[in-house]
Structure 1
């Protein structure tokens, strides 16, 4: 397989691990717990382009990630979206939202510049997510 992560995702995110279908990434923005699933399939920009089996697998991974993030971060709401206007490679955002976060109730896109994690905070975030997702992670 010649799957390549889009350069913008490589630039903006930190890889947490791999699931059966997707790479699990953490957006490097400490304002929101924000993960991204990227199905490891070439030249796919829309969910309907995946095989029916991959569509089902992506849905399962997305639901698991959403539930996990909502529980570990005590979310008021989960924002889940596949926008793809800036990055054409299919990727699904999973953003923990709180009624008191900076952007509420608006979407997070374009509201504020990202605030990258500090080294210690980044390590803690990755550890928390890896531990919570350990049963699904394959590496």
Structure 2
């Protein structure tokens, strides 16, 4: 079992497990945003994945993009551009951000990192976002 860096636990909500990655909804209501964390011990860079894992990751990034779009739709904020990033400067555990953007969002046209302060989801909006993301990713709702 790969340990998830505590920084992710403090800033996101668990969506569930995909074949390679643990998926999380970033806890910032300004943007539909999913973080994928490959369950590969010690992985810090894409080069730490074997070719099959890299291929699986790309498929999961595409699925997360569709889930981000569905989340934006469910929240009444259609996503018009997807940003995908793998930084790891602050949290070195390998992870991929898939962020839904639109021309009227809080950071447009710049990057979301360092743009203002994260806004927490209202409980009903969080439930809507989680449900939409899980449905799009094919992750069952927790019991």
- With normalisation by structure 2, the TM-score equals 0.89
Superposition deviation, residue 124 in structure 1:
1.1
* RMSD (Å) for aligned C-alpha atoms: 1.5
Q: Deviations over 1:105-127 (max 9, x none)?
A: 00011011101112211111101
State whether residues 70 and 77 of structure 1, in contact with CA within 8 Å, keep that contact through their aligned partners in structure 2.
Answer: no
State whether residues 28 and 117 of structure 1, in contact with CA within 8 Å, keep that contact through their aligned partners in structure 2.
Answer: yes
Structure 2: give runs of 5+ residues left out of the alignment. 73-77
Question: Number of residue pairs matched?
Answer: 136
Question: More displaced, 117-126 or 32-41?
Answer: 117-126
Structure 1: give runs of 5+ residues left out of the alignment. none
Q: Superposed, which structure 2 residues align to 1:62-77 within 5 Å?
A: 62-70=61-69, 73=72, 74-77=78-81
Q: Does 1:115 align with 2:119?
A: yes
Q: Which of 123, 131, 134 is residue 130 of structure 1 equivalent to?
A: 134
Distance 2:5 2:123 in 1: 24
The structure 1 segments of at least 4 consecutive aligned residues displaced by more than 6 Å after TM superposition are: none
Superposition deviation, residue 60 in structure 1:
0.7
| Secondary structure of 1:65 counterpart | helix
